[in-house]
Amino acid sequence: MHKKVISIFLTVLILSILVSGTLSPSDKHKNKKKKELNERKGPVDKSVFDRGLVEDEPSPTDILVENGAYFKDTSKRVFQGTSLGYITPWNNHGYDIAKMFAKKFDLISPVWLQILRKGDNKYELAGTHDIDSGWIKDVRKAGHKNIQIVPRIIFDKFTDQDYTKLLSHDSEQRAVQSLIVKSCKKFKFDGIVLEIWPQLALRVDDNILYNLVIGIATALKEKDLKLILVVPPLRKETHDLFSPKHFEALQEHVYAFSLMTYDFSSVQRPGANAPLHWMKRTVEHIVPITASNFEVKRKKILLGLNMYGNDYTPDGGGPIIGHQFLELLKHAKQRLRHDELDAENFFEVKTPSGRHYVFYPTLYSINERLNLARQLGVGVSLWELGQGLDYFYDLF
């Protein structure tokens, strides 16, 4: 499927803004009782590969019937690169997924924690009420012996003045470093995922930001703890927020880089969430093959894979997760289409609420991205585990 097809779909979507999306009286009488599908759930004897489900244009029926059925041997690992899975407290299914498929992951990152500034050289860790020590024990027990728990941390409710003081004074940075290390020891974490680069990259000098990140990374490393840094992808419309220069300055200090290769499109510019060619170009930009020891360095990159999709409508639309995708898919009458360049699937349906143009991961699209990760020699990071479909994890 070429770009021309997507353009046609987008044109139809835009035109539909100008016309009524409501059902006519005659449409209302055409509703027929649909045949109930016999959906499969839980562990089964064959993987999605053996069941022939990894197709470039899958049928809606196959997805609706099979999405909850996963291979019974959840310890079997297909992807051998480093894999990180994010968990969010607002999506409880992710907690179950992390335990069920723990052996397929090296790093699990619960999105729990925020650093708050409380005064000069005084910082507090918020979000600790979400920490579930019992769940952490369950994940460690279910996973391989080296599985790591590395919660994500952000700097929350910081004013410009707060950032200025943090970045300008060594004593402020030492206070933050101490808080992070002590918290890791207290709650038995193996390190952290730090999200600070996308927020500050355009606002402060590179050397100042290096100093902050390297200081935290060094303090953690001294206690045998890890720092994974969240970094933005390559985008035409913005400055080069994370370049080869940035990577080279940090790579000796940072354990891994969680690369945000998703959200390429938006309601203002509908389309694929993470075109495959763009993901490839982003990795090759950060660590080109001309870089010294590029194969070793690329192992530090965790290619971001979205487990959510987008539902574009005449009113705009927005992100969707697994159960919302399945509800929309019930209205589809044809196989999902795919774009060869983007390597993503999409479909268009009309429901009682109006017209929908839907992009959401499939076994095919995820497998293509895992093959790309193998080709590039990078790992993967999944945002986030509870948003996907259970049978996705046969691929990992």
pLDDT (tens digit per residue) in 249-304: 999 999 999 999 999 999 999 999 999 999 999 999 999 999 999 999 999 999 99
Among the ranges given (9-18, 129-138, 243-252, 341-350), the one the predictor scored with the smallest mean pLDDT: 9-18
CATH number at residue 223: 3.20.20.80
Q: Is residue 375 one of the residues assigned to a domain?
A: yes
Q: What is the identity of the amino acid at 313?
A: T
As a whole number of angstroms, the distance between CA 85 and CA 94 comes to 9
Number of domains in the chain: 1
Q: What is the identity of the amino acid at 221?
A: K
Percent helix / strand / coil, the chain, rounded to 5: 40, 20, 40
Q: Is residue 21 one of the residues assigned to a domain?
A: no
Q: Is residue 29 one of the residues assigned to a domain?
A: no
Mean pLDDT along residues 115-142 = 98
- pTM, entire model: 0.92
Q: Is residue 216 one of the residues assigned to a domain?
A: yes
Q: Is residue 23 one of the residues assigned to a domain?
A: no
Q: Is residue 16 one of the residues assigned to a domain?
A: no
Is residue 121 classed as helix, strand or coil in its secondary structure? coil
Strand partners, 312: 357
The domain in which residue 341 lies consists of 3-11+36-395
pLDDT tens string 83-110: 999 999 999 999 999 999 999 999 999 9
Closest alpha carbon to 149 in 97, 120, 184, 195: 184
Q: Is residue 214 one of the residues assigned to a domain?
A: yes
pLDDT greater than 80 at residue 19: no
Q: Is residue 19 one of the residues assigned to a domain?
A: no
